[in-house]
Structure 1
Amino acid sequence: MTARHLVTGTDGEDAAARHLASRGYRIVHRNWRHGRLELDIICRKEATIVFVEVKTRSRGALQSPAEALTPAKRRTLVLAAQHFLTASGLWNSPSRFDLVAVVRDGDAYLVEHTENAFDLSEPVGGGNTAWQPW
Structure 2
Amino acid sequence: MADHNELGKEGEERAAVYFASEGYKILERNWRYHPKEIDLIAQKDDLLIIAEIKTRSTEDWEHPQESITNSKIRFLVDATEAYIMENDIDLEVRFDVVSVIPDGTTWKIDHIKEAFYPPTN
Shared fold by TM > 0.5? yes
Residue in 2 aligned with 1:62? Answer: 61
What is the deviation of 1:89?
Answer: 1.3
Distance 1:16 1:60 in 2: 17
Residue in 2 aligned with 1:111? Answer: 109
Instruction: Mark the runs of 5 or more structure 2 residues left unpaired by the alignment.
Output: none
Residue in 1 aligned with 2:96? Answer: 98
% identity of equivalent residues: 36
Distance 2:47 2:108 in 1: 25
Is the CA contact (8 Å cut-off) linking 1:65 and 1:102 kept in structure 2? no
What is the deviation of 1:106?
Answer: 4.4
Q: Larger strand proportion, structure 1 or 2?
A: 2
What TM-score do you get using the length of structure 2 for normalisation? 0.90
CA deviation string 1:74-104 (max 9, x = no partner): 11111110111111111x3211111111112
Which 4+ stretches in 1 moved above 6 angstroms?
Answer: none
Instruction: Mark the runs of 5 or more structure 1 residues left unpaired by the alignment.
Output: 127-134
Structure 2 counterparts to residues 33-52 of structure 1, below 5 A: 33-52=32-51
- In angstroms, what is the RMSD of aligned CA positions? 1.5
1:24 to 1:44, Cα distance in 2 relative to 1, 3 A:
same
Letter in 1 for 2:77: V
Residue in 2 aligned with 1:131? Answer: none
What is the deviation of 1:107?
Answer: 4.4
Is the CA contact (8 Å cut-off) linking 2:31 and 2:38 kept in structure 1? yes
What TM-score do you get using the length of structure 1 for normalisation? 0.82
How many pairs were matched up? Answer: 121
Is the CA contact (8 Å cut-off) linking 2:65 and 2:115 kept in structure 1? no
Q: Does 1:125 align with 2:120?
A: yes
